[in-house]
């Protein structure tokens, strides 16, 4: 199989739908890696597994997957020699308990699911490890009862903490300390019991500053009255941590000794999750396990496309017995492509061990390879047209196809001159046929239909079409050659009869009639009128009139590539197309040589102030400074 086949047939979308029925990431990962098997025995085993899972589900029983989680990260830490945390150990214990439950569940259902029950016999019961962990770990932390010394250390820790709190509460209630305290509470900061003190009194309280508030107004001080007790508490906590580590390390070592057995259990649980996900999917679609073979025979009876929602017109399709190549014809949007995709995806789903929505009489072949050529394969990167890309795809397939290959071609030979395309398509279909491949192709070309009708090992099929309603029924009619219905549809769409009659004549004898258009039907080019050409030689300072508003304006910028200019009108600059202007007078006629045209776009007051500044007027400078101070 290749990626193009998976993409065109939406195989990944199908797997995602099955994956949604998994209860753990373990099964989900197996679904992600799932691919169609080309081995008939493997396919039949997969289908048997799914059927047994479906049978168990149909009893109303629920597989006990509680506690089954992905332990990959935990096992990676073990491989690196890292001691597991209490929560990680607890997860391992819950996983082992889940394994026991599933093994017991499968043993109870061995009568209806013998194959799946047999898998559970390969699962190792690690109850001892499970119980050791559950004895030592409670609520994701090491329990007091796990070790006598740990229990003693924690009791002493609790006693010291109570003494520290008593002394700090006395500190809070002391009148001499009242003015120093920011808040009358005992605050636990950085593993120390502290008093919130006003920052301005930090030198008035004897003790160790543990932390400061973000604003810096409060410091958290551990008073000297509890410093000795605090040091004793630190020593006890260090002892507690050491004892906890010893317990965690012992349990980690116990798991490490049985890592390989745990990995086998993980693989089996993942398999169960994936298989029962297939079973749940089968129940959802009321699926069946089709019969299978490895000699190319496909017989779909009332089969439905796995991704299409109701209502779906069931497909009845046969190939590989009396004929090995099928040519499907019919109008556009009649369902030809859906037939190809249904045949392809149903085949891939079956080879993946999934049930399909079809009649139990359905049979599906297992192929070594499945190739498709569907849709627009135009490639901009490789400068390939649609036709070129189709030909490249077909050429690549031709090199590797064999007598156990399924080929699905949509509109074969299209995208080029019809006569050449049809001839080329026929030759390609012949080549694949001589290789022994099973081929299903759709087409509009009458030549391909005629070839298929005459070839003893080819068969025609047609998509049914309701001529009266102009609607497809999406039903495949085996043994019939369909028509494009172009003439019928055109007549229903009120195309004039004389056009249709001429078209039908061209179909029969190609006797083209070269009538020439009458002279009075031809539009002549009009003579140019003065002023038709756009005037584009606008210069800065030219006086113009805005045609829409009759306002007078001055040209500020020359014409750009979009035939627009900027004009100065009513003290504003406006971009406008030159078709909306009329030239009144050129600047060269209005102003003497050497005149500074920029002055046209500055008012009198601004020009006078600029002139005063240039000649060094102190009055003008003072006025500017005054304006700046006023703005500040």
Question: pLDDT tens digits, residue range 227-254?
Answer: 899 999 999 999 999 999 999 999 999 9
**Residue with token string 């199908």:** 14
CA 344/CA 129 separation, integer angstroms: 48
Q: Quote the pLDDT of residue 379.
A: 40
pLDDT of 450 reads 86
pTM of the predicted protein model:
0.71
Region 481-508 average pLDDT: 66
Rounded to 10 degrees, the C-alpha dihedral 478/481/484/489 comes to: -80
* Confidence (pLDDT) at 390: 78
pLDDT band at 378 (very low <50, low <70, confident <90, very high): very low
Q: What pLDDT was estimated at residue 557? A: 86
pLDDT beyond 80 at 168: yes
Could you give phi then psi for residue 587, rounded to 5 degrees? -60, -35
Name the least confident of 22-36, 168-182, 297-311, 600-614: 600-614
pLDDT of residue 614: 62
Lowest-confidence region among 134-143, 285-294, 385-394: 385-394
Task: Say yes or no to pLDDT of 445 above 70.
Answer: yes
Rounded Cα distance, 5 and 38, in Å: 15
pLDDT in tens, 10-30: 999 999 999 999 999 999 999
Q: Which of 7-16, 63-72, 225-234, 393-402 has the highest mean pLDDT?
A: 7-16
**What is 360-428 written as a DSSP string?**
TT-EEE--SEEEEE-S---BTTTTB-HHHHHHHHHHHHHHH--TTEEEEESSTT-SS-HHHHHHHHHHH
**Which pLDDT value is given to residue 596?**
79
Listed as own residue / partner, the contacts of 159-164 with beta carbons closer than 8 Å and 24 or more positions apart are 160/229, 160/232, 160/233, 160/236, 161/193, 161/233, 163/229, 164/193, 164/226, 164/229, 164/230, 164/233
- Phi and psi, residue 550, nearest 5°: 65, 20
Cβ contact 585:543 at 8 Å? yes
Q: Which of 575, 568, 624, 569 is nearest to 598 (CA)?
A: 568
Residues above pLDDT 70, as percent of the chain: 83
CB-count exposure of residue 83 (10 Å: 0-12, 13-18, 19+) = middle
DSSP 21: T
Confidence of residue 263 (pLDDT cuts 50, 70, 90): very high
Say whether pLDDT at 478 is over 50: yes
User: Maximum Cα–Cα distance for the chain, whole Å?
Assistant: 121
Q: What is the mean pLDDT of residues 318-342?
A: 85
Please report the pLDDT score of residue 98 as a whole number.
93
Mean pLDDT of 102-123: 94
On average, the pLDDT of the chain sits at 85
Lowest mean pLDDT across 351-365, 487-501, 540-554: 487-501
pLDDT tens digit sequence for 403-429? 999 999 988 878 777 788 888 888 989
Separation CA 594–CA 51 (nearest Å): 99
Q: Is the pLDDT of residue 40 over 60?
A: yes
Q: What is the pLDDT of residue 574?
A: 86
Q: 270 pLDDT band (50/70/90 cuts)?
A: very high
Position 295 scores a pLDDT of 92
Can you tell me the mean pLDDT for 113-117?
Answer: 95
DSSP state of 64: -
Determine which of 80-84, 327-331, 352-356, 580-584 has the lowest per-residue pLDDT on average: 327-331
Q: What is the pLDDT of residue 102?
A: 94
**What confidence score (pLDDT) does residue 524 get?**
60
The predicted structure's pLDDT at residue 612: 63
């Amino acid at each position: 199989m290749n990626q193009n086949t998976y993409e065109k047939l939406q195989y990944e979308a199908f797997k995602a739908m099955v994956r949604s029925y998994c209860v753990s990431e373990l099964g989900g990962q197996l679904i992600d890696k799932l691919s169609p098997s080309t081995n008939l025995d493997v396919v039949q085993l997969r289908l048997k597994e799914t059927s047994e899972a479906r049978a168990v589900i149909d009893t109303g029983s629920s597989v006990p997957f509680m506690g089954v989680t992905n332990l990959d990260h935990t096992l990676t830490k073990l491989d690196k020699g890292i001691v597991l945390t209490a929560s990680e150990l607890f997860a391992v214990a819950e996983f082992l308990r889940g394994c026991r439950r599933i093994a017991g569940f499968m043993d109870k259902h061995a009568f209806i699911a013998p194959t799946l029950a047999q898998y559970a016999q390969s699962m190792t019961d690690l109850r001892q490890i499970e119980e050791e962990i559950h004895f030592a770990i409670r609520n994701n932390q090491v329990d007091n009862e796990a070790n006598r010394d740990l229990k003693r250390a924690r009791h002493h820790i609790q006693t010291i903490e109570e003494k520290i709190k008593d002394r700090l509460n006395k500190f809070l209630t002391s009148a001499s300390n009242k003015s120093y305290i920011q808040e009358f509470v005992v605050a636990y900061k950085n593993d120390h019991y502290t008093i919130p003190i006003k920052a301005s009194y930090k030198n008035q309280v004897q003790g160790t500053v543990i932390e400061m508030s973000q604003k810096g107004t409060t410091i958290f001080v551990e008073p000297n009255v509890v410093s000795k007790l605090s040091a004793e508490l630190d020593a006890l906590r260090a002892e507690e941590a050491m004892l906890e580590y010893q317990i965690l390390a012992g349990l980690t070592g116990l798991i490490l000794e049985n890592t390989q057995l745990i990995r086998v259990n993980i693989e089996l649980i993942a398999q169960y999750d994936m298989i029962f996900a297939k079973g749940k999917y089968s129940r959802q679609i009321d699926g069946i396990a089709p019969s299978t073979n490895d000699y190319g025979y496909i017989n779909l009876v009332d089969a439905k496309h796995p991704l299409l929602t109701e209502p779906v017109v069931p497909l009845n399709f046969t190939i590989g017995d009396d004929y090995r190549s099928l040519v499907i014809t019919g109008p556009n949007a009649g369902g030809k492509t859906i037939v190809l995709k249904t045949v392809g995806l149903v085949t891939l789903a079956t080879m993946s061990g999934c049930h399909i929505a079809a009649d139990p009489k359905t049979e599906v072949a297992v192929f070594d390879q499945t190739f498709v050529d569907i849709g627009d394969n135009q490639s901009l990167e490789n400068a390939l047209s649609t036709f070129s890309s189709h030909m490249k795809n077909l050429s690549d397939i031709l090199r590797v196809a064999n007598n156990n290959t399924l080929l699905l071609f949509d509109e074969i030979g299209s995208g080029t001159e019809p006569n050449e395309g049809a001839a080329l398509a026929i030759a390609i279909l012949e080549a694949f046929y001589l290789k022994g491949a099973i081929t299903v192709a759709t087409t509009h070309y009458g030549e391909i239909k005629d070839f298929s009708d005459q070839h003893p090992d080819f068969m025609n099929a047609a998509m049914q079409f309701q001529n009266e309603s102009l609607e497809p029924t999406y039903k495949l009619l085996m043994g019939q050659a369909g028509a494009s219905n172009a003439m019928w549809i055109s007549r229903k769409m009120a195309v004039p009869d004389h056009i249709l009659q001429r078209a039908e004549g061209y179909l029969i004898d190609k006797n083209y009639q070269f009538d020439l258009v009458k002279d009075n039907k031809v539009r002549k080019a009009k003579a140019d009128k003065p002023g038709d050409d756009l005037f584009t030689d606008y210069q800065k300072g030219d006086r113009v009139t805005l045609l829409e508003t009759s306002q007078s304006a001055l040209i500020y910028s020359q014409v750009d590539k979009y035939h627009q200019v900027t004009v100065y009108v009513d003290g504003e600059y406006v971009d406008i197309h030159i078709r909306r202007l009329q030239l009144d007078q050129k600047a060269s006629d209005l102003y003497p040589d050497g005149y500074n045209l920029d002055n046209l776009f500055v008012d009198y007051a601004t020009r006078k102030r600029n002139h005063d500044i240039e000649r060094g007027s102190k009055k003008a400078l003072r006025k500017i400074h005054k304006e700046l101070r006023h703005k500040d």
